[in-house]
Amino acid sequence: MSSSESTELKPQTTMRSMEEEMRKSYLDYSMSVIVGRALPDIRDGLKPVHRRVLYAMSELGNSYNRPYKKSARIVGDVIGKYHPHGDQAVYDTIVRMAQDFSMRYVLVDGQGNFGSVDGDSAAAMRYTEIRMAKLASELMSDIDKETVDFGPNYDDSLVEPTVLPARYPNLLVNGSSGIAVGMATNIPPHNLKEVIDTVILLIEKSDITVADILRTMPGPDFPTGATICGRADILSYYETGRGIVKMRAKTHFEVHAKTGKNMIVIDEIPYQVNKAKLIEAIADLVKDKRIEGISDVRDESDRQGMRVVVDLKRDALGEIVLNQLFKQTSLQTSFGVINLAIVNGQPKVLPIKDMLNYFIRFRREVVTRRSQYELKHARARFNILLGLLCALDNIDRMIALIRGSKDTEEARQSLLNEVFKTPGSFTELLNLKEAHIEQAVQAQQMQLNATQVQAILDMRLQRLTGLEREKLIDEVLSVRDLIAHLQSILSSDDLLMRVIVDELKGIRDTYGDERKTDIISEAGDISIEDLLADTEVVVSLTQDGYIKRNPVEIYRAQNRGGKGKLGITTKEEDFLSSIFVTTNHSYLLIFTNLGKLHWLKVHEIPDAGRVARGKALVNLIQLEPSEKVQAILPVRRFTENNFIVTATAMGIVKKTDLMLFSNPRASGIIACKIEDGDSLVTARMTDGCQDLIMVSKHGMAIRFNESDVRPTGRGTIGVWGINLESNDRVVALETFDPQLTNKTLLTVCENGFGKRTELGEYRGQSRGGKGVIAIKTSDRNGCVVDAIVVDQQDELMMSTNQGTMIRIRAQNVSIVSRNTQGVTLISLDANERVASIARIQEKDDPETTKEPSESDPTASS
């Protein structure tokens, strides 16, 4: 053999690069995982392993009305015949299909330990027993009627179904989850009745919208119940096939019968949340003091249902603690929806309407194939019955032919060759429209075929009785009607769809139940405000800019002249410059000496201890090096027809619409323009109908109505409010309703003296005047520190430059005339001076509840 010939005989090989080979092999592997393992089929909603488990159980006769079989027996059949993978993977599949907290409608009826919602593992497969659940039989229904295709198993020794007939949309009813290569599916379960009602609606009206679907199928229905927060998220994944559904536990409050303490009782938890880990997480949060107000947590769940009890401390607010639990634990979680399924051998993300349409299309195919199968078998049976009728009407002739034959084959040929008289009952079958029947009736004779002859030869003599003849005629008529019905189904699309609808209604009425998961409107993300009670707090600010907040309750009311209580520890060179009372949910408008405004929420201020210094304000807002906080105004909300009035040390007053301050930048905005040598002193909020009173350092005061000050923009200077002496400066600006007669002006001096004076003693003037004497200042009482409008019920918080704070009642401060020095309000040590005073407003104070402010209007200069 020549070399050329030997070369031609060598096998031809195709050379490919390593990159090309890796790409092809990886794609083949990926598609194998996607189609053959990880993703469900759009038609029956099952992955291959689930389908093989149910089919193996069906083949073993392990149905819902038969005795249980050992799980190991089923696992062995599955891995030996259809699923050549690990036995534990198959058993895990069986366990999940038997867990009522994993499946909305279980497909496996288990007997034994199949795990728990606490994450406990199931018992070994040799200990548990299973059988198909009754609903699972609806997935297998009609599988023996050529309704679905079969394919070879892994070794070509058996065949297995490529899909189950599935009388209901299992993919939506039970959902599915799985991770493939480069893609994942996560389909939530839904309520069976709602899904079937939606399918029926879509069959009857194909042009329905997603909004129509939402009315019949409002959203997922998880086996563990709980609550879905927000319908917009459901609409999103209905329309696109992707979305996020927020879930919250169902809870209620109870009072302990013996201790009288409040309790949070958790009745249902979100889907796929481990109860034991949830309780452990709550305990850890309490241990780490990340959640206050919980004294104990315990699991009281039993056969009647879930019950996790969270005991609250006596002073804890249940709603606040519950919001903290929602924020920091899996009591609130989310379910990421990806409606990814195998459609015609390809993975596809589907909107909800497409998923329903694919199921309807599949059921149309199944019912059509079943009808064709049943028609074929009905016609075959009808053919035999006609032969038997012919035999009964011609029995003597047939017996003679059979007896005259030497063997069975000769008898068969004799019957095939003979022409018999047509039975009289054939006339009743004319409405069947079968051609061979019409021909037999018209010719009054018929010839048997091989199938009919075999049935006659196999016929028993008992069929010759009159009763058996009647039964035979009844069966003929029954099969005739069945053939007519099946023919009409196959020829009429409307009748075909009616059959599908009737079967769906039967499943709905048999297996349907009430929804477990509630759906509420959007609860929104839980903000920090939701985790804090909207209670009154004292906000303290030092001269060096350290700020903190404390509950107002820690300061006990004292009589005037008391020594007070240490409210803050300051550095030797620092001192407390201002305090005010507000609520956790309020906003802080922070005005600086340069006329700039910064925006801060009260809850963002650190909640420090009573004697703690607090946190530097420069760490909370962005201040320039020469910028110092001069006034802080708490505002509950920004509304129309409200104004901010500012005052400067030189006596300039300005009024600006509140809405102009609602959106400041991080670096601050201009609140008012400040001239050289001047600085902003304070700010107040008004409703446009208030009287203003400005008080100076040397005890002068002027009262005028704010209508004298027209509103201007943020970047303006303002107008004169009071005409001061060269060495005097404004220290306070107050606003009040001129119609109220029970108010007094409290004036406080730096040496601890103060007094209240009737507002009527301050006559109204035009702005820009010199004013009148508000308090007589001297070396004994010192310069004026602050002035506040108060009434009899007010309580006051006074602070000194050394950090001492005292809480006194306004009614304990004497009411005296303007031209006096006042009485002692607080006893001071050497070198100690009063720094500020603020009014504590009670909840029923009319000024705190009426518009415009709903906030404490006091702020210290």
380-410 pLDDT per residue, tens: 998 888 888 888 888 888 888 888 888 989 9
pLDDT digits 0-9 by tens, 184-206: 899 999 999 999 999 999 999 98
Q: Which amino acid, 284? A: D
At residue 102, the pLDDT reads: 94
What is the side-by-side order of every strand in the sheet holding 587-592?
629-635, 587-592, 596-601, 669-670
At residue 541, the pLDDT reads: 75
SS3 percent helix, strand, coil of the chain, rounded to 5, is 35, 25, 40
Average pLDDT over residues 816-839: 86
Q: Among 309, 323, 313, 321, which residue's Cα sits nearest to residue 278? A: 309
- Kindly tell me if the per-residue pLDDT of 338 is higher than 90: yes
pTM over 0.85: no
Across 162-229, where does the E strand assignment appear? 176-179, 184-187, 227-229
- Percentage of the residues of the chain whose pLDDT score is greater than 90: 45
At residue 684, the pLDDT reads: 87
Determine contact, residues 680/591, Cβ cutoff 8 Å.
yes
Residue 432: burial class (beta carbons within 10 Å; 0-12, 13-18, 19+): middle
Determine contact, residues 48/83, Cβ cutoff 8 Å.
yes
Average pLDDT, the chain: 85
- Kindly tell me if the per-residue pLDDT of 843 is higher than 60: no
At residue 34, the pLDDT reads: 64
Average pLDDT over residues 683-710: 91
- Kindly tell me if the per-residue pLDDT of 491 is higher than 70: yes
Quote the CA–CA distance of 122 and 751 in Å, as a whole number: 77
Residue with tokens 């323009």: 673
- Percentage of the residues of the chain whose pLDDT score is greater than 70: 86
Range among 369-373, 604-608, 665-669 with highest mean pLDDT value? 369-373
Task: Give one word for 344, left, alpha or beta, with left for phi > 0 and alpha for psi -120 to 50.
Answer: left
Between 430 and 169, the more confident residue is 169
Residue 88: burial class (beta carbons within 10 Å; 0-12, 13-18, 19+): exposed
Average pLDDT over residues 561-575: 53
The domains of the chain, with CATH numbers, are 36-166 (3.90.199.10), 250-330 (3.30.1360.40), 366-509 (1.10.268.10), 534-849 (2.120.10.90)
Determine contact, residues 451/387, Cβ cutoff 8 Å.
yes
Active site residue 127: yes
How many residues are recorded in the chain? 861
Determine contact, residues 531/291, Cβ cutoff 8 Å.
no
Determine contact, residues 854/636, Cβ cutoff 8 Å.
yes
Reported as a pLDDT band with limits 50, 70 and 90, residue 745 is very high
Reported as a pLDDT band with limits 50, 70 and 90, residue 3 is very low
Reported as a pLDDT band with limits 50, 70 and 90, residue 105 is very high
- Cα Rg for the chain, rounded, in angstroms? 44
Residues 6+ away with beta carbon under 8 Å from 430: 437, 438, 441
Specify the DSSP class assigned to residue 34: I
At residue 565, the pLDDT reads: 54
Q: Verify cis geometry, omega within 30 degrees of 0, for the bond prior to 852.
A: yes
- Kindly tell me if the per-residue pLDDT of 526 is higher than 80: no
Average pLDDT over residues 448-460: 87
Average pLDDT over residues 727-735: 91
Q: How far is CA 99 from CA 177, 193, 618, in A?
A: 15, 20, 56
- Kindly tell me if the per-residue pLDDT of 575 is higher than 80: no
Reported as a pLDDT band with limits 50, 70 and 90, residue 847 is very low
Quote the CA–CA distance of 609 and 593 in Å, as a whole number: 28
Strands 557-558 and 804-809: parallel
Residues 6+ away with beta carbon under 8 Å from 468: 462
Residue 239: phi and psi, rounded to 5, are -85, -35
Q: How far is CA 235 from CA 351, 408, 417, 421, 526, in A?
A: 10, 72, 72, 70, 22
Q: Point out the least confidently predicted range of 98-107, 226-235, 665-674.
A: 665-674
Residues 6+ away with beta carbon under 8 Å from 860: 541, 577, 578, 579, 580, 631, 632, 682, 786, 835, 836, 837, 838
Residues 6+ away with beta carbon under 8 Å from 288: none
Between 638 and 241, the more confident residue is 241
At residue 533, the pLDDT reads: 67
At residue 310, the pLDDT reads: 95
Determine contact, residues 87/73, Cβ cutoff 8 Å.
no
Coil vs helix vs strand at 649 = coil
Q: Among 613, 640, 579, 561, which residue's Cα sits nearest to residue 828? A: 561
- Kindly tell me if the per-residue pLDDT of 647 is higher than 70: yes
At residue 590, the pLDDT reads: 86
Q: Point out the least confidently predicted range of 209-218, 409-418, 602-611, 787-796.
A: 602-611
Residues 610/616/620/625 CA torsion (nearest 10 deg): 150
Average pLDDT over residues 463-474: 77
- Kindly tell me if the per-residue pLDDT of 62 is higher than 90: yes
Quote the CA–CA distance of 678 and 500 in Å, as a whole number: 86
At residue 385, the pLDDT reads: 87
Residue with tokens 């993977």: 89
Residue with tokens 């996020």: 244
Residue 435: phi and psi, rounded to 5, are -60, -45
Q: Among 118, 112, 117, which residue's Cα sits nearest to residue 94? A: 112
Between 51 and 456, the more confident residue is 51
Reported as a pLDDT band with limits 50, 70 and 90, residue 861 is very low
Reported as a pLDDT band with limits 50, 70 and 90, residue 577 is low
Reported as a pLDDT band with limits 50, 70 and 90, residue 844 is very low
Reported as a pLDDT band with limits 50, 70 and 90, residue 28 is low
DSSP H or E segment with residue 59: helix 48-59
Determine contact, residues 309/262, Cβ cutoff 8 Å.
no
At residue 349, the pLDDT reads: 94
Which of 26, 29, 127, 154 does the annotation list as catalytic? 127
- Kindly tell me if the per-residue pLDDT of 461 is higher than 80: no
Q: How far is CA 681 from CA 215, 224, 628, 696, 797, in A?
A: 60, 60, 11, 11, 20
- Kindly tell me if the per-residue pLDDT of 854 is higher than 50: no
Retrieve residue 710's tokens.
């027209």
Say how many CA atoms lie within 13 Å of 358 toward its Cβ. 22
pLDDT digits 0-9 by tens, 412-433: 898 888 888 777 666 666 555 5
